[in-house]
Structure 1
């Protein structure tokens, strides 16, 4: 049980140390510190006592000094001991540097905040009204010109040219003068022609009268057949 508890404590300590930043930012430092000299050597010696591999970055325009340690524990210990300490007659303040974790070493495009699908709304907006279709336009001039056309006459719309034919409109008559389809009343008044009877294959009795009739019928032309439509 003690070994397990010790292992849990070590795991928690490792997590806490790894989450801490390994760099400090020194503020309110003397202006002579940004020049090479004995003052810079004494300043760096304060932090090299915690980590011999410490690195310094001087930002004169911001009056800041970034102090990067190889271990987060050394950075935390240096802050606990040197924060608000006196250096060259001024109070020195130390803060942990904010670490920025980048998921990919490459530059990624911005998040698509305004890239969304443009679709029609499911319901009409407020104040929308159904528009009524316009009434059809009646061309009275065309109707008047058609009414003036007389039955049985023809009207030339376009005259003929050497390359195009003429356009002529023939107006149909209203009467029923078609002989192919007469009315039933015409059939009653028209006399129907008689059709000749068909000849029979049976032999007729031999008699002088019948022989004379057959001789006359053979020389005569057959009557014309007419069909009533």
Structure 2
């Protein structure tokens, strides 16, 4: 090996801290894989994961441990190697990962097109009705079925809708926007049932808490306003 100690095309090297050139053999077996997993070079760590499975149960343990690696790239490589495996040990590890970190492995599923005609502003998801709800500067609030991906219906406001919030039972929705008004909608009848005044500038954020019967709104007028329900009516 040359005096500079850098691997050449014909050299074989023991896994270590330095980046390993392409097409170079790596010696050291499982120990070499472990050393490369500890490398500061991300590319080496990711490639080491792929080689770990060559070393039986000990290598498999390394891949499973890598599901919780601090690098998401290493996590993803480990997940991709394991996701189609049928061994019970792997299934248990993946289930534990899903339980502890339910959103760690997120993949693009589909895109909703032909929705709003202007800039998108806000969205929320209703588990109760399995709906995605979106709002836009086109003054519309749209309700989408998450299974069929179809538009269910549309509520039309008289100005841009900057923010929306829905209660846990998906019975009511509150909206706010450029008209400086907070609006409460009945989702069963699809009607506007109350309008709250008080802000002097565009409303940028709203929140509806059905348990506390509270509607909160934040505005560019630098104020936050809370409205508390009294029985079935919500007071401004």
- TM-score in terms of structure 2 length: 0.19
* Structure with the bigger percentage of strand: 2
Q: Which has the larger radius of gyration?
A: 1
* Structure with the bigger percentage of helix: 1
